[in-house]
Every structure is written in C-alpha cells, then in structure tokens.
A and B are shown apart, each in its own frame.
Chain A
Amino acid sequence: MSEKLYQIISKVFSIDSNRINDETSPENLEEWNSFNFYVLLDEIEKEFEMKFDLDELLGIKKVGDLKKIFTKHGINIE
C-alpha cells in the first residue's frame, strides 16, 4: 500500500520513488510545490477512493502526515 502511495507521489512530482520517505516535504523536495500538492491529493483521492477534509488537507506537511490520515480512515498502508 505504501508502495502504491509512493508510486503516485513519484508520478505526480516526476521523481524517483527512492527519494520519498516519511519526512519528505516541500521543505526538502524541490519538486513539491503548493500547487502540484493539489494534483497529488486528486490522484490519491481517486486511487484510494477517499476524500480529505479541509482540516486534513491543511495539516499535511510531509508524507508521514498522509500516512497518518490513511490510518485514521482505516486504510491499511503497510
């Protein structure tokens, strides 16, 4: 599941998936900007058939935060 998430991230940001880990964020990944972040969320919502709410969306600062939201939604990513 985590692999699927990394696949989406690597596709949207057009980066190698081995550059992604829990700490990956706009701070340390140049390819991640405030706009393509929305595109990433679109892709995740479609792939995992879920919706982020506004609070969740605003709280996502790094990849680890995404995983926490999955856990909350009961989506098993391990």
Chain B
Amino acid sequence: MKNEENLAYFLNEAKTIKPRELGRKLRVAFLASSTINGFEETMRVKCYKKGIDCVTYVADYNQYNQELLNENSGLYQFKPDITFLILDTRHILGDYFFSWYSVPYDDRSKIISKKISEIEIVCNTFAKNSDSKLIVTSLQIPNYSPYGIDDGHVTTSLRQIISQINTELFQWNLQYKLLTYDFDQFVRKYGENNIFNYKQFFSGDIKISTEYIPKFVDELMRYVYAVTGITKKCIVLDLDNTLWGGIIGEEGFDNIKLGDNPVGRAFVEFQKRLLALNQRGILLAINSKNNFNDAIEVIQKHPSMILREDNFACIKINWDDKVVNLQRIAEELNIGLDSLVFFDDDPINQEYVRESLPDVLVVDFPKDPSQYSQIITEMKEFEVLRITEEDIQRSSMYLGQKRRKELENKFDDYNEFLKHMNIQVEVKKADSFTIPRISQLTLKTNQFNMTTKRYQEDEVSKFSSSDNKIVECVQVSDKFGDNGITGTYVIEKKDDEEWIIDTFLLSCRIMGRGVEEIMIDQIIEKARLSGIKRIKGEFIPTTKNKPAENFYEKLGFDKEDNFWVFNTNNIMKKPEHIKVKKNE
C-alpha cells in the first residue's frame, strides 16, 4: 500500500498494462468542464493493481452537457458502469464566482435554483439513458471572499450559496443511481493552495494540479471498490507493538505502553479507530505469536484496553505460523482471503504474508505508533455505497456465531444440534428496506451462490417492481440471536409453465442449516400456487462457488442440458427443524 507514486509513474505505467483473461471488467467514463488529462491513466493503473481491467472513456473537453443530453453521444455508446461528472465551481458559477456580491439580494435565490436545476436536468437525463452509476462531485467552497472577515455576516454569501447547491446535490443521494462525492472535503484535506495551481490553470486549464491528480483518483477508487464489491471485510491484527506498545511476554501486564502517556495514547487512539470500524460492520480478528494467557489477560483486564474479547470475531493467539493462522481465520469466518487486511508492525511478517498470501492486503506499517491511526483514516478499501442494518449488526452476529460453534461442538449428531438451535426463517419481499441488503448480498456472496450475478440497488429495485420477476429474501434467527437477511433469490417468470431461478444465494455463515432447502421450498410452493409446472435452475461455476455445486441435484432437480429442472408435481423433502414465517 504505497501511495508515493507520482503522476509520471501512472502515465508511463498506463502505456504498459494489458487486459488479462480473468480480470474483472469495469467501464469508467469521465466528464468534466476542464482538462482531466491523467485521470483515466491513473485510474486504469490503480484498477489493474487490484485485479480489475478498466476501460475508460473521456468526454471531449468541456462537452459534458452535450454528451449527457444527446442520447446518441459517445458516452451512451460506451455503456459505462461508473461515470464521474467532475463539476467545478468556477465553471458552474461563471462570472458570479467573482462578482456574486454585486447581485441584488432578491435575485440570488432565483439564480441558485436555476444553477441547481441545470445540473439536475443533465443528471436526470443521464439516469434515464444509462444504467451506469453517476458520481457527481460537489462544488468546492472557495477560501477567499471580497468581504474578508465580514463574509460570515452576509446572508446568501458566496460560500453559503455554494454549500446550498452542495446540500441539494447530496439529497440526490437518496435516489439509487446518483451519488455525490464530497469534493469540497477533498480540497479541505489537502488545501486549496495545493490543489489549485494558477500557473497550470492559466496555461493548461488544469483545475486539479498534476501533483494531486493521483490523490484525487485515489478518492474516486472508493467507488470502484464499492461498485465492484472488492471491499475488505475483516482486519486481522497482531498484538505486541500493534495494539499496544512493547511485548507482553517480556515486559508484562503493568509495563506495556497503553493508556495515558504519549506512546500509550497513540495505541488507545488507534484502538478507538478500529472500534468505530468494528461498530459499522468491519470484523476484527487477532493473529499473534504469544502465550495465550498473557495476551488474553490484557484484552480482558487492562484498564486502558479499548477493544475487548467480544470485538473480535476470531482470536488466534498461539505460536503457529502467521500464514496458517490467517487461513484459519478466513475459514472460520467463512470469508475469502481477499477479504482480509493484515496489520502487523513487523516488516518481516508483512513480507512473509505478502509473499505467501497475495490475496491478503498487507498494510505497510509506519515505525512510529503516532502514525498508526492514520493508517485507518487513509484506508479506502472498506467502502460500500450504502451502510446497511446488517453492517451495523454484523459484529454481534459473529459473536452469536462463535456461541453457535461452541454449542455445535457439544453435539455428536449435527441434526440434534440443529434441533436445539430453534431456527426461524422469515421470508420477506424486496422493498425499500431490504433492497440495499439484497443488492449487497449479490455483490458480496461468492461461495453459496448459484449464478454469481451481481446486481446494484437500482437493478434489484427494477426487478422488484417488474411483473415478470419475484425478488425475495430471508431473515434468519435462532436461539443466539438474529442473523439478519442472509439469503435471497430472484425468479424470472418465463411463461405460464416455467419459472427460472435467476439468482439464488445464501450467506456462507448460514450455509448447511437447512435454510437453503426452505428457500427452494418457498419457490416451489409459490410456483404451484401459480400453476407453474417446471422450475429451472442453473449452476454457473466460478473459482469460489464449489459449495453450491451439487445443491440442485441433492434436492431432486433433474439435469437437462446446462440446467437443473424441478417438476412441481414432485414433493421435496424439507427440513423440519425450521419454523417459517411468511410476510405477504
């Protein structure tokens, strides 16, 4: 994770990369009112490094209105997945940018409304003509005002009206396809005097200085992660000199650095950042070479420890190989190695894991603990377009999972264990509450996923309102608590005789408890009620969905060409340990 690369590097690298056979494909379009040389090159290189083959389209200089409004434009022919519309305060406001204070008070709100509706029209046209996500950048609020220190007292000051336009832009976030990137926040982070270089602006109409283009594209990459679903799910942490200063086995409980002293504060702050991520749904795990009892005592009892046992979905404190531990963690949490981020202060461990498990993101750790918190605040790999209720509940769900495992180990007979679990399944229709989660499941589920079709929210929303489709999901709970919405299916009603299972998936942490059978049974029952004779399913193999391979066969589907077919006259044996609640 080195970010020192400058624009020259990206420009040159972009010439050498070639699409790979197996890479994920992504089509990205850029629209702007100024020169955006370097953006697409940088993005292609950054995507390439993440295993994504990115193809780009850059609209002609200052043609974005025409491109967006003309439905035959190159933009629409390109069929982007993500489109970035980079707005610019000077361009949007024209002369008002300089002479706003000469506009009579009474005219000001009219002008703002007009500017907003101009942007709205092009965005809405785009939403109508394209399935792409549209990311619009907010307007930068300039630092300077001709009114100087008195600017704060002016009503409808330039700054106020720009933030009013921005507020309006952000409200469009409520729609599925339009998203706003807070460009003003980007400028605040690095400073207007750095981002805006007068020399480059006057001579080349460059509005984001060449030095900051890689940093800006880094920000845009957040959307690439979220849209392609390659976000990280779990942070795996070392302990000594990572969560606290010093080595517990040598220095002991009372002497490690954690708490109210300069070095201790750095670790406390770092832990608080981790806790906040944990609370929003990023899992934490421990991978540490230590005597278990020494280390766990700190986690349980140290007065300054922020993260406690319950914050960790998986704890590996032992003398085993770190790579083996990482593999175990992925396995136990039922997530891919490519969902893991590894935090370890030791450069040798970092290198070892990087070499052995290239899928794991290994963070380049600074030597100085005071810089640790910044690792978190600079990370862009946890992005999702929308944080769902499941994200927020995830940590407690995994805690329930830990308890389930403990119960499972007490039974010799797996079926006896299932009976004791009191599993309940609630079938829910896709609606505004469940659509974000359904989309997220299609984007993130790899293992028990029959077709691995990825759907964005707007697509799920379209399906759910279509007469030809059924979109439902299941919420699963048991004696250890709620697992949340963990399974979903999309049925295509082909005709009066046949339904096709377009999508059928279940989160891997629920797999093997009979929920998948209950879901199929729901589909069969529904089909029978509609007089449907045949249900047709398909298994599209990927590198990850082996666990779902024999599913249809096991349930009595018959093979026909590439499909599996169930005749609704037949009876499917369904598990009896699950209570089903229907929400019609």
Contacts and interface: CB of A to CB of B under 8 A. Distances in A.
B438 to A, nearest CB: 43
B7 A39 contact: yes
B11 A38 contact: no
A67 B200 CA distance: 21
B392 to A, nearest CB: 43
Contacts of A43: 6, 8
Interface string B199-217: 1101110100011000000
Contact of A38 (B12, B15, B200, B202): B200
B556 interface: no
Interface string B27-42: 0000000010110000
Contact of B203 (A13, A39, A54): A54
**Contact count band on B:** 10 to 19
Interface in A31-64: 34-36, 38-40, 42-43, 52-54, 57-58
A12 interface: yes
A36 B6 CA distance: 12
Nearest to B202: A54
Interface in A1-52: 11-14, 34-36, 38-40, 42-43, 52
Given A42-B210, A54-B202, A54-B203, A35 B37 contact: yes
Nearest to A54: B199
Contacts of B37: 35
A13 B12 CA distance: 7
Q: Is the interface of A mostly helix, strand, loop or mixed?
A: helix
B210 A39 contact: yes
Nearest to A56: B199
B211 A35 contact: no
User: Which of A38, A42, A52 lies at the interface centre, i.e. has the most chain B CB atoms within 10 A of its CB?
Assistant: A38
A48 B405 CA distance: 63
A11 B7 CA distance: 11
Contact of B6 (A34, A35, A39, A57): A39
B211 A42 contact: yes
Contacts of A42: 6-7, 210-211
A14 B35 CA distance: 23
Interface in B1-58: 6-8, 11-12, 15, 35, 37-38
Contacts of A57: 199, 203
Contacts of A34: 204
A69 to B, nearest CB: 14
Contact of B11 (A39, A52, A53, A58): A39
Interface string B242-273: 00000000000000000000000000000000
Contacts of B6: 39, 42-43
Interchain residue pairs A-B with the least CB separation, the first 9: A14-B12, A35-B37, A12-B8, A38-B210, A39-B8, A39-B7, A39-B210, A42-B211, A54-B199
Given A36-B11, A40-B8, A42-B210, 9 more contacts: A14-B15, A35-B11, A38-B206, A38-B210, A39-B6, A39-B7, A39-B11, A43-B8, A54-B199
13 contacts: A11-B8, A14-B8, A14-B12, A14-B15, A34-B204, A35-B204, A36-B11, A39-B7, A39-B11, A43-B6, A43-B8, A57-B199, A57-B203
Interface of A: 11-14, 34-36, 38-40, 42-43, 52-54, 57-58
Interface of B: 6-8, 11-12, 15, 35, 37-38, 199-200, 202-204, 206, 210-211
